[in-house]
Amino acid sequence: MRSAKADVVGLGLNATDTVIIVRELPALGGKERVVSLSRHAGGQVATALVTCQRLGLRARYIGKVGDDDAGRFQLASLRREGVDLRHTRVARHTPTQFGYILVDQRTGERTVFWDRDRGLTVSPKELNEQAIVTARALHVDGCDVEACLQAARWARRARIPVVADLDTVYKKVEKLFPYIDYLLASANFLPAVTGQADPFRVLEYMSREYKIAVPGMTLGRDGALVYSDGRFIYSPGFVVETVDTTGAGDVFHGAFIYGLLAGWNLDRTLDFSNALAGLNCTALGARGGIKSRAEAEKLMATGLRHRNTAYASGASNSHNPVRKVKR
C-alpha cells in the first residue's frame, strides 16, 4: 500500500471515555452523587492528531480499535475530523480501550481509571514503512514499545523528527529514548524512569545520556519546561476557567507539533502549546475545548499565567545549566 503524504503520523493510543462529574471527590469509602455522565472520544495520540487536524495539518493515525460500539464511536469521531484512517485497524472480538474519568467539579481536576485489551497491541510487522516516511513528523506515546521503536527507526533514517508523549513507564520504554528528538513527558515520568527528582538535572541527563535534542516535561497548570542547546526554557501555563483537565497534555503535544512544523522557535511553540492546552480545559472531554490558532494567540497576548518561581528562577540561569543544578 502506497501512502499519500501527511504532515504528521501518530502511532499510539485512542480511547473511548466515560466522563463522570461529581461535586467533589469523596473520601475513601464515601459516597457522592453524580452530577453528569457523558461519553467522549479521547486517547493520547488520537487526540493530539485531532488537534493537528483542526489546526490545518494533515494527520494520519496508526492504531487499533475494538469491534464494539465504543470502537465505532472512536472511528466515527476521527473520520469526522478528517484524520487519515487507512492504517487504522479493527481488532475482532476485542473491546476498545476505555477510560472512566472522574472530574471534581470544584477544580476541574480529573482522576482516570482505564484498561486496554492485549488484542489492541500493534506489532512491528503490522506497520507500513511508507505510512511513516511520507509524513513530516512522527508522534508516539511508547505504549507498544517495539512498534514505536520500528517506526522511530524508519523516521530517523528518513530524517523525520520524532515527538514523544510519555507518561506511563512501559516495559523497555527506555529503548525508545535514543530515537526521540522532542521528548515532552509528564512531570512524573522522567523521575520514575531515572530515579532523579530534580527536573533540571533529569532533563540535562536525558540530553547527555540519550542525545535527545529537546527533552522536556509538561507540568500541568504550571506549564512546561524544556532543555535545548545548553539552556532551559520555562513557559508558564495560562489561567483559565477550568472545567475538565482531561486531554490537556494531548492537545499540548498536537499544538507543539504544529509549532514545530511551522518553524517557530521553542519559546513561541511552548507558549502556544500551553495556551491551546489551557483552552481545552474550559470544556468537557479530551477534545471538548480544542480551539483555533487565533483563540490561542489571543490568550497568549492577553492572558494571565501560573508562573512557578522554582521553574522560572532555574530557567533564568540557563546560561550555565550545570552550575544551577544541585549535585
pLDDT of residue 314: 84
pLDDT at residue 143, rounded to an integer: 97
Q: Which three cell numbers stand for residue 298?
A: 489571543
pLDDT tens digits, one per residue of 123-136: 999 999 999 999 99
pLDDT band at 164; cut points 50, 70, 90: very high
**266-300: pLDDT as tens digits:** 999 999 999 999 999 999 999 999 999 999 999 99
What is d(CA 11, CA 231) in angstroms, rounded to the nearest whole number?
30
Max CA distance (Å), the chain? 56
Domains and CATH numbers, the chain: 6-26+34-324 (3.40.1190.20)
Return mean pLDDT, the chain: 94
pLDDT of residue 320: 43
Across residues 49-54, what is the average pLDDT? 98
Q: Supply the pLDDT for residue 2.
A: 60
Q: At 318, is the pLDDT very low, low, confident or very high (cuts 50, 70, 90)?
A: low
Of the chain, the percentage scoring pLDDT greater than 90 comes to 93
Instruction: Supply the pLDDT for residue 325.
Output: 32
In which band, very low, low, confident or very high, does the pLDDT at 115 lie, cut at 50, 70 and 90? very high
The beta strands (E) that lie in 107-158 are given as 110-115, 135-140
- Whether the pLDDT of residue 137 is over 50: the answer is yes
pLDDT in the model for residue 315: 87
Helix (H, G, I), strand (E, B) or coil at 207: helix
Tell whether the model's pLDDT for residue 319 goes beyond 60.
no
Return d(Cα 153, Cα 137) in angstroms, integer: 13
User: 308: pLDDT confidence band, cut at 50, 70 and 90?
Assistant: very high
Alpha-carbon torsion, ordered 66, 70, 73, 79, to 10 deg: -30
Give the percent of the chain with pLDDT over 70. Answer: 96
Residue 30 CB neighbours (<10 A): 8
pLDDT at 130: 97
Q: State the Cα–Cα distance between residues 113 and 212, nearest whole angstrom.
A: 31
Compute CA distances 167 → 30, 39, 61, 170, 278, whole Å.
Answer: 29, 23, 19, 9, 19
Q: What is the mean pLDDT of residues 257-266?
A: 98
**Helix, coil or strand: residue 76:** helix
